[in-house]
Structure 1
Amino acid sequence: MRVIIAEDQAMLRGALSALLDLENDIEVVGQAENGRQAVQLIQEYSPDICILDIEMPEMTGLEVAEYLQDEQYSCRAVILTTFSRAGYFQRAMRAGAYGYLLKDSPIDELSRALRRVQSGGRAISPELSMAFWEPKNPLTEREREVLGLLATGLSVKEIAVQLFLSYGTVRNYVSELIQKLEAKNRIDAISIAEKMGWLE
C-alpha cells in the first residue's frame, strides 16, 4: 500500500517513515509538514492512505480528512494523535476517518491498523473504544461560541458587543451553559468543555 505521512514534527515524521518502510507491503511515498502540503501530495501521488496528525499548520488533520471526504478521494484518512478526547474522536469519525490511533501506540499496532484500513475496515485505539459511549456535546452552537469567547478572556459585555446581542441575552447564555455542564462557575465551565473537547 502507498502511504503519505502528514506530521509537523520532523523527527517523528522521519521515524515513522523509516519504520513503516521496513514493512514489505507498505511504501511511504511522501511526507508533509502541514495539512496543505498533505493535500498537494495526495493530489500528486494518489496514495491509498494518509496518516494525519490533528494539530498542524495551514490545515489541521481533521480539515484534511473532511476535504478528502467532501471531494470523494479514494485515499483513506487515518488520524495519529496525542489527543484522546471524545470531541476530537467524534469529529474525526464525522469527517470520514478510517482510523484514530494514539502516537504512543507500538509501530506494529500502526502497521496492523493500516492493513485493516486498506482492506476496508476501521482501526481505533483500544483506549478510545469507550469514547463511543461518552456524552455528546450538550451545548448549542451559540453557547459554544459564547463559551469560546469567554475562554479568550472577554467579558459578557464585550461578548455582547462582538455578537451584536444584548447584555442580558449573553448573560442568559452563560447561565444556561453553566447549568448544562453542571459547572460551578464560568472558569469551571471552560475547563469542563476543554477537557471534553467540546470547544473544538
Structure 2
Amino acid sequence: MTHSPTVLIADDHPLVLKGLHDFLIEKKHKVQWTAKHGREAMTLIKAHEPDIAILDIQMPHMTGIEIAQNIQELSLKTKVILITFEKSPSIYLKSREANVYGYILKEFALDEIEKCLERVYQCLSYFSKDLLPLIEIDESIDMLDRLTHSERNILKQLASNKSAKEIADEISISVRTVEKHKSSIRQKLNLDSKSATLYLFAYSHLKFL
C-alpha cells in the first residue's frame, strides 16, 4: 500500500475503547480518532474519511450498522468493521447489506482484529469463525432465489415431510409434476437425490420460504 491506513475506533464502553486503541497503537496501526458514541463517530468519519472505522454495533445516538448505512449512502471511502457480542442472523444480514467489510465478536476482538484489518486493508472481507453458521445460512438464502414460485411452494410443503401424492392433492397438480419440481429443486440447490436431504433442507429453511 502507498500509505499507512488511518483508523477510527468507536465504542461507548471506555475500557473496550481504550483497550482496543492501546493494542492497535502498540501494533503500529495508525489510530487517529476515537469516539464514545455513534453521532460523534459519524461526525469524525464525514470530516476525515478514515480508511477504516472499527465500530461497536450497539452505541447511543447511532448504531454501527446505521453508520455503515450512512457511509454507503454518502459514498464515503471508509470501510467498516463491526465489533459486537451479537450472533444474530438478522444483524449479520443487515451488516452485509450495508457493505460492512469485517464483523468480529468482542470476546475474540484482540485475537482477530489484526487479521481482520490486514484483510480489510486489501479490500477483502473478514468475519469471525463463530459466524460461519450465519454465513452458511445466508448463502443458502441466496440459493433459494434460484427457485421459481412453484418450486418454493413445493419445498415449503416438503418441510412438513409430505409425500409427493399428498403435495399433489393439496395444490391440485399431478404427482409427476411434483417429482419434476423436486428434481429441479435438487439441481438448483446442488442437493443429492436422497429424499431425506431435500426434507432436511426444506425443514431447516422453512422460515425463509
For normalisation by structure 1, the TM-score amounts to 0.65
Measured against aligned partners, the alpha-carbon deviations of 1:161-199 in whole angstroms (never above 9, x if no partner) come to: xxxxxxxxxxxxxxxxxxxxxxxxxxxxxxxxxxxxx9x
- How much has 1:94 moved relative to structure 2? 0.5
Other-structure match for 1:61: 64
Distance in 1 between residues matched to 2:121 and 2:16, nearest whole Å: 23
CA RMSD of aligned residues (A): 1.8
- Whether the aligned pair in 1 keeps the contact of 2:83 and 2:109 (CA below 8 Å) is no
User: Across the two proteins, how many residue pairs are aligned to each other?
Assistant: 137
The 5 Å alignment of 1:89-100 reads: 89-100=92-103
For normalisation by structure 2, the TM-score amounts to 0.62
Q: For structure 1, list consecutive stretches of 5 or more residues without a partner in the other structure.
A: 137-197
- Whether the aligned pair in 1 keeps the contact of 2:104 and 2:112 (CA below 8 Å) is no
Which fold has the larger relative contact order, with Cα–Cα distance below 8 Å and residues 6 or more apart in sequence? 1
Other-structure match for 1:74: 77
Other-structure match for 1:43: 46
Distance in 2 between residues matched to 1:70 and 1:116, nearest whole Å: 23
Partner SS, residue 73 of structure 1: coil
Select the structure of larger CA radius of gyration: 2
Other-structure match for 1:188: none
2:13 corresponds, among 2, 9, 24, to: 9
- Whether the aligned pair in 2 keeps the contact of 1:4 and 1:50 (CA below 8 Å) is yes
Other-structure match for 1:31: 34
Moved more, 29-38 or 100-109: 100-109
Distance in 2 between residues matched to 1:47 and 1:29, nearest whole Å: 8
Q: Which amino acid aligns with 2:125?
A: R
